[in-house]
């Protein structure tokens, strides 16, 4: 973590100094603002935390609930989300308080005594070690707390406004603040109209923002229901601290051990709900759900002592026809929907909260760049373009997984079939199958062969390197903070101090008028204010020092023009990033990563003009 570059910092360095609109934040929501986020759920708070990094942007986050969510709803945190938490600065504390999910066990009827269940398989949760971060279980409320803290600590100081309900909107294209929004303030009992440049509906499955822009939720008419019981119970079921899929003749349960020990969650399957059920399934009493759980767990028993949360979660596989308000690429999107507002699916693959956060991580930096005049408005079309496909893939996967989970024991080809499916497809629920196609912000695969382990359009898979200035072993990807900046990694094709492609590349980046740094960085920002450029050398850190690398990689920042020593890295001999990520040290490569951590572009070191062409597609030249 770096601070002090604007002078000595003695207080908590995680609280960034307020700047711009964060200096005089008013309690009352202003009549005119840049971004209005509707809904304090995982999608809304991620967007708020991201936009709080843009000090020139006025963002408000409204929520109809009178206060923070205390308990319940989702709890599964895939490793991709933990990577995201790292970028927002709170992976470590949340990992400490969460339950680490490392295995999943499977139970089915004993063939000799079909009324009793037996364990049929034990699997590793992440057999391929797809991320250095664990799969976690922690309550949605805590995830939201951390994001809200990040939003309140960002320079623009974004904080939730509770007790404010979105009532409706109208779009008047061509105006400076084209979206008029009706909001109701419960405490003041006041309804008023405010005007925003952009509105983002993160208002859940029954989204009124979606309704207001006339978007349709398409999918199953019938819903699926689960009784969700968070309980403190005494049980003789031996795997109560391991995630389990339990199939018995009496039905099925998904068991999730919870953070803090002792507590666990049971999803007791209540089956398909007819379209004319009219909410009756939601009235299923807790006692009925507990009795059913006991039947499924037989011969084991469950003596429930306390239920901190009980709910019947009823949801269908649905995705919205488009995630913004435009039908034509000629119009600028003004209203977006994210999270459950545009896709819903079962809780079985534990995706709802995770995918919702990735939706707005995708949207946040784009809104930031457009509102700060760094990108044309057309960039905003890429949000719906990129995320709708992901939602559809998720729904297809979830349908397959739910169908497997809903099978009766006798319908499986073998007792291991479900476990095999879980292991074979684990990368999807872990969040790593997202692969954005070629576009203005994802380059062509022409030079993919230069860095085969950094797949274009997929998230940047971190690897360990040594930081040269202090010899610390660090994860390269963990330096990527959710600060709205792009990362450009130069993998050198020579040792430090030798004249090679990386030295001419660095000189071009620093001095050429065509360099993205010189073309697209506004004058008031630091030299690395838009592009954070780092170098990695294929040699051991003890063989060189930072005085031997081009000045580009040791830039000066802040009023004292202090040197930034944390951009120069060395390959670790025992775990070479070059080898692990398929980079030939005689050629090197340039790898560009988007602010939301997806690999955007790969180019040879000796073709710097390609970088200029790539960024010209999505950025505006700064005066
Ligand atoms: P949400 O978390 O739904 O947040 C939307 C927010 O918008 C809410 O706080 C809501 O009050 C607010 N809002 C809605 N309308 C307005 C308005 N007009 N004005 C202002 N604010 C508004 N997932 C699981 O995996 N397991 C579960 O057991 C589970 N149980 C759930 C139980 C409930 C009751 C709900 C609602 C969801 C549950 N989910 C569960 C789903 C999971 O919580 C979501 O997938 C996830 O929260 C999606 O995040 P989101 O930010 O898109 O929306």
CA–CA distance from 210 to each of 22, 37, 53, 182, 205 (Å)?
30, 13, 27, 15, 9
Q: What is the pLDDT of residue 225?
A: 87
Q: Which of 204, 337, 363 to mutate to test the pocket of ligand 1 (most atoms within 8 A of CB)?
A: 204
Type and span of the H or E element at 225? strand 223-235
Listed residue (33, 23, 32) closest to 157, CA to CA? 23
Give the residue-averaged pLDDT of 530-541.
97
**Contact 166 CB / ligand 1 (< 6 Å):** yes
Are the beta carbons of 31 and 363 closer than 8 angstroms? Answer: no
Q: pLDDT grade, residue 409 (50/70/90)?
A: low
Q: Is a pLDDT exceeding 90 seen at residue 236?
A: yes
Q: How far is the CA of 66 from the centre of ligand 1 (A)?
A: 15
- ∠ Cα 189 195 200 (to 5°): 90
Burial of 138 (0-12, 13-18, 19+ CB in 10 A): buried
Q: Which of 67, 73, 141, 191 to mutate to test the pocket of ligand 1 (most atoms within 8 A of CB)?
A: 73
Q: How distant is the alpha carbon of residue 343 from its chain centre?
A: 15
Listed residue (238, 245, 243) closest to 135, CA to CA? 243
Q: Which of 167, 318, 340 to mutate to test the pocket of ligand 1 (most atoms within 8 A of CB)?
A: 340
Q: How far is it, in rounded angstroms, from Cα 199 to Cα 108?
A: 48
DSSP 410-460: GGSSSTTHHHHHHHHTTTTTTT----PPSBTTB--GGGGGGGTTS-TTSB-
Structural tokens at position 486 = 């792009």
Burial of 17 (0-12, 13-18, 19+ CB in 10 A): middle
**Contact 340 CB / ligand 1 (< 6 Å):** yes
Q: Which of 353, 357, 362, 390 to mutate to test the pocket of ligand 1 (most atoms within 8 A of CB)?
A: 353
Q: How far is it, in rounded angstroms, from Cα 233 to Cα 137?
A: 18
Listed residue (588, 580, 430) closest to 500, CA to CA? 588
User: Which pLDDT tens digit goes with each residue over 64-123?
Assistant: 999 999 887 899 999 999 999 999 999 999 999 999 999 999 999 999 999 999 999 998
Q: Which atom of ligand 1 is nearest to the CA of 208?
A: 18
CB atoms within 10 A of CB 478: 15
Q: How far is it, in rounded angstroms, from Cα 436 to Cα 456?
A: 8
Q: Which of 29, 36, 39, 359 to mutate to test the pocket of ligand 1 (most atoms within 8 A of CB)?
A: 39
CB atoms within 10 A of CB 180: 16
**Contact 348 CB / ligand 1 (< 6 Å):** no
**Nearest C-alpha to atom 2 of ligand 1 is from which residue?**
41
**Nearest C-alpha to atom 31 of ligand 1 is from which residue?**
73
Q: What is the pLDDT of residue 425?
A: 73
Give the residue-averaged pLDDT of 387-414.
80
Q: Is a pLDDT exceeding 80 seen at residue 441?
A: yes
Listed residue (222, 299, 314) closest to 267, CA to CA? 314
**Contact 38 CB / ligand 1 (< 6 Å):** yes
Q: How far is the CA of 41 from the centre of ligand 1 (A)?
A: 6
Q: How far is it, in rounded angstroms, from Cα 310 to Cα 267?
A: 10
Q: What is the pTM of this model?
A: 0.95
DSSP letter, residue 484: S
Q: How far is it, in rounded angstroms, from Cα 217 to Cα 319?
A: 5
Q: How far is the CA of 204 from the centre of ligand 1 (A)?
A: 5
**Contact 588 CB / ligand 1 (< 6 Å):** no
Helix axes 42-51, 79-88, angle to 10 degrees: 30
**Contact 41 CB / ligand 1 (< 6 Å):** yes
Q: What is the pLDDT of residue 623?
A: 76
Are the beta carbons of 379 and 442 closer than 8 angstroms? Answer: no
**Contact 201 CB / ligand 1 (< 6 Å):** no
| Lowest mean pLDDT segment, chosen from 179-193, 287-301, 307-321, 328-342 | 307-321
**Contact 40 CB / ligand 1 (< 6 Å):** yes
Are the beta carbons of 356 and 338 closer than 8 angstroms? Answer: yes
**Contact 140 CB / ligand 1 (< 6 Å):** yes
Q: How far is it, in rounded angstroms, from Cα 350 to Cα 364?
A: 23
Phi and psi at 429, nearest 5°, equal -65, -20
Q: Is a pLDDT exceeding 70 seen at residue 222?
A: no
Give the residue-averaged pLDDT of 31-48.
98
**Contact 550 CB / ligand 1 (< 6 Å):** no
Q: What is the pLDDT of residue 142?
A: 96
**Contact 429 CB / ligand 1 (< 6 Å):** no
Q: How far is it, in rounded angstroms, from Cα 502 to Cα 445?
A: 21
User: Which pLDDT tens digit goes with each residue over 543-566?
Assistant: 999 999 999 999 998 899 999 999
- State in Å, rounded, how far the first CA of the chain is from the last one: 32
Q: What is the SS3 assignment for 52? A: coil
DSSP letter, residue 7: B
Structural tokens at position 124 = 């590793």
**Contact 37 CB / ligand 1 (< 6 Å):** no
Residue holding tokens 């061509």?
174
Burial of 420 (0-12, 13-18, 19+ CB in 10 A): middle
**Contact 65 CB / ligand 1 (< 6 Å):** yes
Supply the mean pLDDT for the chain.
Answer: 93
Residue holding tokens 């969040």?
431
- ∠ Cα 259 39 459 (to 5°): 65
Q: What is the pLDDT of residue 202?
A: 98
User: Which pLDDT tens digit goes with each residue over 155-196?
Assistant: 999 999 999 999 999 999 999 999 999 999 999 999 999 999
Beta bridge partner(s), residue 343: 319
């Amino acid at each position: 973590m770096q601070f002090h570059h604007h002078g000595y910092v003695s207080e908590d360095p995680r609280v960034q100094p307020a700047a711009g609109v964060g200096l005089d934040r008013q309690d009352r929501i202003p009549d005119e603002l840049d971004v209005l986020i509707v809904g304090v759920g995982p999608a809304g708070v991620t967007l708020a935390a991201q936009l709080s990094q843009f000090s020139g942007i006025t963002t408000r986050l409204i929520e109809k609930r009178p206060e923070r969510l205390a308990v319940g709803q989702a709890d599964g945190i895939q490793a991709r989300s933990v990577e995201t938490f790292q970028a927002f600065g709170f992976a470590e504390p949340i990992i400490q308080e969460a339950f680490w999910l490392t295995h999943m066990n499977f139970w089915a009827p004993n063939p000799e005594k079909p009324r009793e269940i037996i364990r049929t398989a034990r699997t590793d949760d992440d057999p391929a070690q797809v991320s250095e971060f664990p799969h976690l279980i922690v309550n949605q409320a805590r995830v939201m707390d951390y994001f809200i803290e990040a939003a309140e600590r960002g320079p623009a100081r974004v904080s939730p406004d509770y007790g404010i309900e979105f009532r409706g909107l109208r779009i008047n294209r061509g105006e400076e603040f084209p979206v008029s929004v009706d909001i109701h303030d419960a405490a003041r009992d006041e309804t008023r109209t405010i005007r925003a440049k952009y509105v983002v509906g993160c208002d859940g499955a029954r989204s009124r923002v979606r309704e207001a822009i006339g978007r349709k939720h398409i999918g199953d008419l019938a819903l699926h229901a689960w009784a969700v019981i968070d309980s403190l119970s005494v049980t003789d079921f031996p795997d109560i601290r391991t995630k389990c899929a339990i199939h018995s003749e009496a039905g099925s349960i998904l068991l999730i051990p919870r953070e803090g020990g002792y507590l666990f969650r049971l999803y007791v399957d209540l089956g398909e709900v007819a379209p004319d059920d009219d909410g009756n399934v939601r009235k299923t009493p807790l006692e009925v759900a507990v009795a059913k759980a006991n039947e499924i767990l037989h011969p084991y028993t469950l003596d429930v002592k306390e239920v901190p949360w009980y709910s019947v979660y009823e949801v269908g596989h649905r995705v919205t026809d488009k995630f913004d308000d435009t039908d034509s690429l000629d119009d600028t999107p003004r209203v977006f929907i994210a999270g459950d507002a545009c896709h819903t699916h079962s809780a079985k693959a534990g995706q709802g909260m995770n995918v919702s956060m990735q939706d707005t991580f995708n949207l946040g930096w784009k809104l930031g760049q457009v509102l700060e005049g760094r990108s044309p408005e057309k960039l905003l079309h890429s949000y719906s373009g990129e995320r709708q496909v992901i939602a559809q893939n998720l729904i297809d996967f979830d349908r397959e997984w739910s169908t497997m989970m809903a099978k009766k024991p006798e319908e499986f080809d073998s007792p291991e079939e479900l476990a095999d499916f879980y292991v074979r497809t684990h990368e999807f629920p872990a969040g790593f199958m997202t692969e954005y196609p070629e576009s203005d912000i994802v380059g062509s695969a022409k030079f993919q062969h230069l860095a085969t382990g950094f797949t274009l359009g997929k998230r940047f898979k971190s690897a360990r390197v040594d930081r040269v200035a202090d010899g610390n072993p660090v994860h390269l990807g963990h330096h990527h903070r959710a600060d709205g900046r792009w990362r450009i990694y130069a993998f050198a094709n020579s040792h430090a101090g030798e004249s090679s492609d990386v030295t001419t590349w660095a000189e071009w980046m620093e001095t050429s008028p065509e360099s993205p740094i010189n073309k697209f960085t506004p004058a008031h920002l630091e030299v690395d204010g838009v592009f954070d450029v780092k170098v990695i050398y294929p040699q051991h850190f003890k063989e060189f020092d930072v005085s031997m690398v081009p000045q580009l990689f040791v830039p000066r920042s802040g009023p004292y023009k202090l040197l930034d020593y944390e951009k120069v890295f060395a390959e670790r001999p025992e775990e070479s990033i070059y080898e692990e990520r398929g980079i030939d040290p005689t050629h090197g490569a340039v790898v560009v990563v988007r602010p939301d951590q997806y690999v955007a572009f790969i180019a040879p070191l000796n073709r710097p003009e390609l970088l200029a062409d790539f960024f010209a597609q999505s950025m505006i030249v700064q005066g």
